[in-house]
Structure 1
Amino acid sequence: MIRIDLNSDLGESFGNYKIGMDEELMKYISSANIACGYHAGDPLIMEKTIRMALKHGVAIGAHPGYPDLIGFGRRNMSVSLEELKTMVKYQVSALKGMTESLGGKLQHVKPHGAMYNQAAANLDMAIAIAEGIKEIDPNLIFMGLANSCMQEAADSVGLIFASEIFADRAYTDEGKLVPRSREGAVIHEPDMVCERVLEMVKHGKVKSINRKEVALKADTICIHGDNPAAFELAVRIYECLAENEIQIRALR
């Protein structure tokens, strides 16, 4: 039987500000990427989200980002490789410690937003992140963009890599994500999204925005729940996988 992990970025509320549909989405995912307080989240939100994941049997991952609460970690930052590495270590340590204090175990690390996008295209940055992860726990899985520098970085430092695909995003001919600023970068039609998911999971390929067939390894699918429309799409993806007898399971 084919199996796939479904992940989502959660715990991104902050104080009195609520972001996302964490409680609703927990029922449909197998792995949760929990914000660590830099781009979003705070100690109470982190602990609440960890407890929620443990209750639903969802694997827990750290979701470190840049220290940019106002920009939600989506603005590029220019930092040294040493600083980037320590940012990752600081955040992963916090989430790992809190998870273990509640009887859980950290499964993976997935960078957030601008940190994720920059490292996907910059090998030195990807290696700094990978080294930071390994120095905290060499058994953690590095979750990152398929067909990116992150795979090479994980291999170079000896980490297991989980290749992530995006159900509702268009791809370039090179297998990269089409920038959101370009028309057609985000796919909204549920039937088309499900068709693409099945093609990626079952056959390891996807049609690019120019209709070219691109090879794409899929270990985990990112599904969004930031708004009601995206949540409905996430549920449809879950149902589509179940209907096609594809097992939804965490990475380990």
Structure 2
Amino acid sequence: MAAERIAARFSPATRRWYAEGATVVIGSTAGGLARAEALATELGDRALAVCLDVAREDDWAAAVAAAEQRSGRLTILVNNAGVQNSATTIEATDPAVWDHTFAVNVTGQFLGIRAVTPAMRRAGGGVIVNIGSAMAYGGTALYAPYAAAKWAVRGLTLSAALELGRDNIRVNAIHPGVVSTKLINEPATPGGRPIADFYDPRPYAVPRLGEPADVTAALLYLTSGEASFATGAELVPDGGLLLGPALPAGV
């Protein structure tokens, strides 16, 4: 995979892409920039960390410019920045929480697509992968801002796929189920309870939490030549969550 990539915030796939010869640009907000820079230093000369607030258009412009300056072209964008709201009813949700959730989870992806499109045209094509959620296929009590934002990611992905197909730019989405990450294992707000406290994977077809490696495998596929016929696709690695409880073994 000899392509240049921007990953909005950290991605477990970054190491894999770098190992396969890619130039990687790791975007992080100011609070995590030191960790991003440490990772880039650890990886080597083909890695670069940039300050990127995905809700800021000027940050995206600077990130794209840095990617093209470092490698000469930009061919892959992974839109994986995301925030989760704390569990609360719609009635009790602060509008500022709603706005922030959409700013990062939806507007951030919109601005990312908008920023990289000219660069991908200059490169002769590219691939964009938006990270959504299995919540984008149903309603989820107490998480309306997050669920609504992830529904919006589906519409954005499909619309972009239609607009950019003739530019040789493929746009796909991955909608993971419950994956063992900080978002699941730590409270969204101080004093709260993490989602892991409420989720039991044992009734489902694959009775475990997802792992970052499960999403990495999907990312590597969608951004490779093996997926050259896939655009507007939505992969849902959720262990069977959306199917509902599986038939018990032996029945």
Q: Which category describes the TM-score, using the shorter chain as reference length?
A: 0.3 to 0.5
Q: TM-score, normalised by structure 1?
A: 0.40
Report the TM-score when normalising by structure 2. 0.40
Structure number having the greater strand percentage: 1
More helix by share: 2
Higher relative contact order (CA 8 A, sep 6+): 1
